Structure formats: structure tokens, C-alpha cells
Amino acid sequence: MKEQITGNISKALIRSLNRRGTRSNMSPLVAQKERAPEDPSVCDICGSVYTAKTWRRNRRLPVKLIKAAAWTICPACKQAKRGEYFGRVLVRGSNVISNLDAIRARIANVERRAAFTQPQRRIVSSKWDGATLEVLTTSQKLAHRIARELEKAFGGRAHYKWSDNDGRLTAIWQQETRLANA
């Protein structure tokens, strides 16, 4: 039998007690696939350092810890090597070809800014097929960020589709054609 909550309790408290549909492990899906590395560890490929359950780039370690560090390959480097992605950005529109260099520069800037604090968020690949630029990323968040930044910089609209099966995000940014008479 359900207990009835009495007294002056806010709706927020009642909602916070309802944990249905939430994950108990909030770590990224990539991190859930593998065993955590030793603390500290250094990535052989990109040089990221794993300490205190996080990967960081350009983190200085004392010489004593560097000698004790385990050398491994970080999850993002493994993902990029396998071509595995959790975010996909499709860049479409009639004016994309004329702004392609600026769009690619903006995408590179977004990746560089994200990698500063979160080196596990990076671009896996980028392909231009003549009509659509497809960018694959290691995380949903980076794909979302790229689409949002393109929307802010060049106008247009971004649409997001999350997969229920594996948690992937497909972000479609469509650049609108500007009419000459408008």
C-alpha cells in the first residue's frame, strides 16, 4: 500500500523522489564498456592524463607520478581508431558549398574548445560528398554543440534525433536559402 505524503511538500521534492527511468550509472556509454584504467594513466597517442576518474589534457604531473603512471590508450583514441561514434552531424543546404571553409573552421574551433577541458570529446571523421558534410563525433554533446554553433553563426535550423537503442545523436543542420528580394 502506498504511503500518502502529507504536510507542506513541494512538487519538486515529490518529483525528485520519483527515480523511474533514470540510470544509476551516469558515466558516458564509452566508459561503461571498459574497465577503468589505473590511476594515474597516460594515453600513448594523445597524451591525456587519467587521474581522479577523469581524463584531462595538458595536466602536469609530478615526476614521481609520471614514473608510476601506467601507459595506455584512452577511450576516445580507441573510438577514433575503430571509427565508432555517438554523435553525427549532417550539414545540408544550398549555400553550404559557398561557406564550406568557414563551416569547417567553425567546427574545428568548437572541437578545440571542447577538447581543452574534455579531451574525450573529439571528431572521429569528417566527409564531404558534394551535397552534405557528415561529421562523426565521440560524444552526443559535441555533436549537439557543433549543430548549435552552426545555427548561431550561419543561421538555419538544427534538428536533433536521439536513438533509443544505443544513445546516439543525429543532429541535422539545414542552412536556409536567403531570397534576393527579402
Q: Is 160 helix (H, G, I), strand (E, B) or coil?
A: strand
Q: Return the closest-CA partner of residue 122 out of 159, 158, 81, 92.
A: 81
Q: Which residues contact 22 (CB under 8 A, 6 or more apart)?
A: none
pLDDT by residue for the chain (182 residues), tens only, comes to 445 555 667 777 777 776 666 666 666 665 666 778 888 888 889 888 888 888 888 777 788 887 888 999 998 999 899 999 999 999 998 888 888 999 999 999 999 999 888 888 999 999 999 889 999 999 999 999 999 999 999 989 999 999 888 889 999 999 876 544 44
pLDDT score for 179: 45
pLDDT score for 81: 92
pLDDT score for 31: 60
Buried b (16+ CB within 10 A) or exposed e, 50-86: beeeebebeeeeeeeeeeebeebebbbbbbbeeeebb
Tally of structural domains, the chain: 2
pLDDT score for 64: 83
Last residue of a domain, one of 79, 96, 120: 79
Are residue 171 and residue 90 in the same domain, yes or no?
Answer: yes
Q: Domain of 126: which CATH number?
A: 3.30.70
Are residue 70 and residue 147 in the same domain, yes or no?
Answer: no
Are residue 150 and residue 104 in the same domain, yes or no?
Answer: yes
Q: Is residue 68 part of a domain?
A: yes
Please give the DSSP secondary-structure letter assigned to residue 102: H
The per-residue DSSP string of 121-159 comes to --EEEEEE-SS-EEEEESSHHHHHHHHHHHHHHH--EEE
Last residue of a domain, one of 48, 79, 110: 79
Are residue 127 and residue 46 in the same domain, yes or no?
Answer: no
The range of the structural domain enclosing residue 165 comes to: 85-175
Q: What's the pTM?
A: 0.75
Are residue 102 and residue 156 in the same domain, yes or no?
Answer: yes
pLDDT score for 117: 81
pLDDT score for 174: 92
Are residue 92 and residue 171 in the same domain, yes or no?
Answer: yes
Are residue 95 and residue 152 in the same domain, yes or no?
Answer: yes
